[in-house]
Chains A and B, each alone.
Chain A
Amino acid sequence: MSLKITGEEFNLLRNYIRKECGITLEDGKEYLVESRFGKLVAETGSGTFGEFYVKVVNSPKEKYRDKIIDAITTNETSWYRDKTPFVIFEEVILPQLFEKFRAGQIAKARIWSVACSTGQEPYSLAMLIREHCEKHPGLVTPSNFEIMCTDISSSALFIAQSGRYDQVSVSRGLPENLKNKYFTQKGRVWLLSDEVKRMITLKKFNLQNSFTGFGSFDVVLCRNVAIYFSEEFKKDLFFRLSKTMKPDSFFFLGSSESISGYSDKFEMKKYGTGVCYRLKK
């Protein structure tokens, strides 16, 4: 029989997970714990989720926390997944930022990829920035942009840092011309150029923690991250994110996500078939 979780065990575990990992599992998500934690539970030699819980709380925090997080979070990403944010970035945001640079209003444009996973999202933006700078030579160069990237998964960040992608990963949604321009092929491995890699900074970060010291941003992408978060955490997260955003900035969620009910700091704006959020004045 597959290992089932009782209501009580689920409550114990989800309290622990909420406290230590900032991820909340709502009622009805028992199946998620059963499917994602089966292996972890067995690994600890536990016969039930109750035993597992006891082992986890009696161990040093670091021992299981990362594994639990890795078990819950999925790394599903691809280049330009749901292309619309990147279209908006290229056609609306970059021109606006360039205007601000030219008018002397800003010296640096800052972008935050909240859940960067294996790096496709921030690197996609970096390539678009380079393209735009090339097409509009002059005052603005890639060094006027800063892309901060956070994620909770250590192994995903490791891959992002390496900038090495395989054949399958570069074939999904990455325009051929960008692939050829910014990657070198070595055998069957595609290496992202140093000039693009240099444009991002990576940081292992739990969104439950404070954003003190992060500064403010012109663009924040928080796509497909909030999926596991509770209503209260989402409200808190979007509130704290709104505080990091400059006036006139842009905020992106995943294509199937919505901000309504979670924050009144943003207004939705449509650009073509895409949607993004602007900080209200």
Chain B
Amino acid sequence: MAILAVDDSRIMRRLISGAIEVLGYDMLEAGNGVEALEVLEKSYEEVDLILLDWNMPEMDGYTALQKIKEDERFKEIPVMMVTTESERENMVKAIQAGAKNYLSKPFTQEDLTSKIAECLGMGFE
């Protein structure tokens, strides 16, 4: 039971790891789209959710999202964008490309944790 956090900021990945740990999941990380795909190649069977930043070097999040959705092995894994790209059209674009949810920065830690819980289908009663 793992969540893959993809963001070029190590600090942001650390913030996200707090929420992931609270929910009892292991964390896998990647600093850009290319690394994310490499991690998925190795470990996709354990990954229950992908958190994807947008602006990253090598391969941005939107491109990574498209590649994830094109791959038979990865496409069923839910993806949530976690990004500064908060304009409506970007949100719509990402959702249409297959992202399940969207969290724009800045966010509270509680929002982050609740939205991850929501993506994983964790609900009350």
Q: Do any beta carbons of A and B sit within 8 angstroms of each other in the complex?
A: yes
Q: Which residues of A are interface residues toward B (Cβ below 8 A)?
A: 1-3, 34-35, 38-39, 41-43, 45, 70, 74-78, 117-118, 120, 153-159, 161-162, 164-169, 172, 187-189, 202, 204
A/B interface sample: 6 pairs, CB < 8 A: A2-B89, A35-B86, A153-B114, A166-B19, A189-B18, A189-B22
- Using CB atoms, name the residue of chain B closest to A161: B124
Q: How far is the CB of A159 from chain B (nearest CB, A)?
A: 6
Query: Which B residues between 102 and 121 are near A, CB-CB below 8 angstroms?
Result: 102, 108-111, 113-115, 117-118
Contact B109 A168 (CB under 8 A): yes
B125 within 8 A of A: yes
- Using CB atoms, name the residue of chain A closest to B15: A168
Contact A2 B22 (CB under 8 A): no
Q: Which of A1, A3, A167 is the most central at the interface, judged by chain B CB atoms within 10 Å of its CB?
A: A167
Q: Which residues of B are interface residues toward A (Cβ below 8 A)?
A: 15, 17-19, 21-24, 86-89, 91-96, 99-102, 108-111, 113-115, 117-118, 122-125
Q: A39-B101, A158-B124, A189-B18 are in contact. List 7 more A-B contacts (CB 8 A).
A: A38-B91, A154-B124, A155-B117, A155-B124, A168-B109, A188-B17, A189-B22
- A158 in contact with B18 given A2-B89, A3-B88, A34-B88 (CB within 8 Å): no
CA distance A189 to B18 in the complex (A): 7
- Using CB atoms, name the residue of chain B closest to A167: B18
Contact B22 A158 (CB under 8 A): no
Contact B117 A158 (CB under 8 A): yes
- A155 in contact with B87 given A166-B109, A168-B109, A169-B110 (CB within 8 Å): no
- Partner among B17, B93, B110 whose Cβ is within 8 Å of the Cβ of A77: B110
- Using CB atoms, name the residue of chain B closest to A41: B92
Contact B95 A42 (CB under 8 A): yes
CA distance A157 to B24 in the complex (A): 16
Instruction: Count how many pairs of residues, one from A and one from B, have CB atoms less than 8 Å apart in the complex.
Output: 108
- A159 in contact with B110 given A39-B101, A154-B123, A188-B18 (CB within 8 Å): yes
- A78 in contact with B108 given A118-B114, A158-B124, A166-B22 (CB within 8 Å): yes
- Partner among A39, A41, A76, A164 whose Cβ is within 8 Å of the Cβ of B108: A76
Contact A117 B91 (CB under 8 A): no
Contact A188 B91 (CB under 8 A): no
CA distance A41 to B93 in the complex (A): 11
- Partner among B88, B95, B99, B122 whose Cβ is within 8 Å of the Cβ of A155: B122
CA distance A165 to B101 in the complex (A): 22
Contact A188 B21 (CB under 8 A): yes
Q: How far is the CB of B102 from chain A (nearest CB, A)?
A: 5
- The 3 A-B pairs at the shortest CB distance, nearest first, are namely A166-B18, A42-B95, A157-B124
- Partner among A35, A166, A187 whose Cβ is within 8 Å of the Cβ of B88: A35
Q: Which of A1, A74, A159, A172 is the most central at the interface, judged by chain B CB atoms within 10 Å of its CB?
A: A159
Contact B91 A42 (CB under 8 A): yes
- Please name all residues of chain B whose beta carbon is closer than 8 Å to the beta carbon of A159 when the two chains form the complex: 22, 110, 113-114, 117
- Please name all residues of chain B whose beta carbon is closer than 8 Å to the beta carbon of A187 when the two chains form the complex: 21
- Partner among A76, A188, A189 whose Cβ is within 8 Å of the Cβ of B110: A76
- Please name all residues of chain A whose beta carbon is closer than 8 Å to the beta carbon of B102 when the two chains form the complex: 39
- Please name all residues of chain B whose beta carbon is closer than 8 Å to the beta carbon of A77 when the two chains form the complex: 108, 110
CA distance A188 to B113 in the complex (A): 14
